[in-house]
Chains A and B, each alone.
Chain A
């Protein structure tokens, strides 16, 4: 793409820019690759919705969404090139989200597991 600009600065493009003070500046072709991948995954998720996947329909749709979100976070939001502290900050929100989902669904999905206490145990309570 605009490779002349990239070559005009020594710290632009590729992985050679790690030993300078400023932030990493990714080459334009990386952004084009990521956005193409995002378009492709959107097409795949729409097509997959019409395929008979049975119980796997939702997991497949969610896996595609998680993949898309991950490449947005890593490449568009530059976490890939960021400090370990930033990885922790970026990961914390998603980690707590996971806890919220698993504990909430663990409750609701097991509510009908409850069975009445058998009569012979009642006087033990």
Chain B
């Protein structure tokens, strides 16, 4: 047990660093439970309409490019790895390494959003954005509008979380450079890592549910 005068990283309302660390970790998981419910509402709505309009969801899914979706999955998983390495560097108290891994994560995060914007632009040119310019010649056009509404709201909320994550890294970088984090105190890095992994998990479900429905060769459109 370190006494309060000994360690500047210890806030006065905690008994020791272990308790401080666990409190921060638990608070982050409470926040993530809330995030699970937020995305859970979107996934529930998706499940209901997919059950009702399966044919339209299959047709809509076949308009999404698997290549870009799969590439983005790889990019995001790689960024989950780099942020895990950043947390490990923080645990080991290696500031330079921590800085490099955070920058790598940021580059991968921006790459993900870049690929996403290529896809969004493509949807715009094909008139597949509900509300903006939806032009789809099919008796199922109304149901496809629902599929694309789910596509844009779910990937859009996911992309917003990525943008917030990149903002958090911009906020963390000067602190890292100042040497604010040590092997004893790195909760902001750890909690940012948890947030980033959560955003990765959301995409792990979005990718098969949006891009990979009804790709079997026997399905004739």
| Chain A residues packing against B (C-beta within 8 Å) | 5, 9, 12, 21-23, 25-26, 28, 31-32, 34-35, 38-39, 42, 45-46, 49-53, 57-58, 61-62, 64-65, 68-69, 72-73, 76-77, 82-83, 85-86, 89-90, 92-94, 96-97, 100-101, 104-105, 108-109
Count of CB-CB pairs between chains A and B under 8 Å: 143
Cβ–Cβ < 8 Å partners of A58 in chain B? 213
| Chain B residues packing against A (C-beta within 8 Å) | 16-18, 21-22, 25-26, 29-30, 32-37, 40-41, 43-44, 47-48, 51-52, 66, 70, 73-74, 77-78, 80-81, 84-85, 88, 91-92, 94, 183-184, 193-194, 197-198, 200-201, 204-205, 207-209, 212-218
Cβ–Cβ < 8 Å partners of A49 in chain B? 66, 208, 212, 215-216
Cβ–Cβ < 8 Å partners of B44 in chain A? 100-101, 104
Our pick among B41, B80, B91, B200 for the contact of A25 (Cβ within 8 Å) is B91
Cβ–Cβ < 8 Å partners of B214 in chain A? 57
Chain B contact residues: helix, strand, loop or mixed: helix
Nearest 3 A/B pairs, CB to CB:
A93-B33, A93-B36, A49-B212
Q: How close is A24's CB to chain B, nearest CB, in angstroms?
A: 9
Please determine whether A69 and B26 come into contact, CB atoms closer than 8 angstroms.
Answer: no
Please determine whether A31 and B81 come into contact, CB atoms closer than 8 angstroms.
Answer: yes
Expressed in whole angstroms, the Cα–Cα distance for A92 and B212 within the complex equals: 29
Closest to A38 in B: B77
Please determine whether B51 and A73 come into contact, CB atoms closer than 8 angstroms.
Answer: no
Residue of B16, B36, B85, B94 with most chain A CB atoms under a 10 A cut-off: B36
Our pick among B48, B80, B92, B218 for the contact of A9 (Cβ within 8 Å) is B92
Knowing A42-B77, A104-B47, A109-B51, the reply to whether A92 touches B88 (Cβ < 8 A) is no
Please determine whether B77 and A65 come into contact, CB atoms closer than 8 angstroms.
Answer: no
Our pick among B29, B74, B212 for the contact of A89 (Cβ within 8 Å) is B29
Q: How close is A125's CB to chain B, nearest CB, in angstroms?
A: 30
Expressed in whole angstroms, the Cα–Cα distance for A122 and B215 within the complex equals: 48
Cβ–Cβ < 8 Å partners of A104 in chain B? 44, 47-48
Knowing A31-B84, A46-B70, A69-B201, the reply to whether A105 touches B215 (Cβ < 8 A) is no
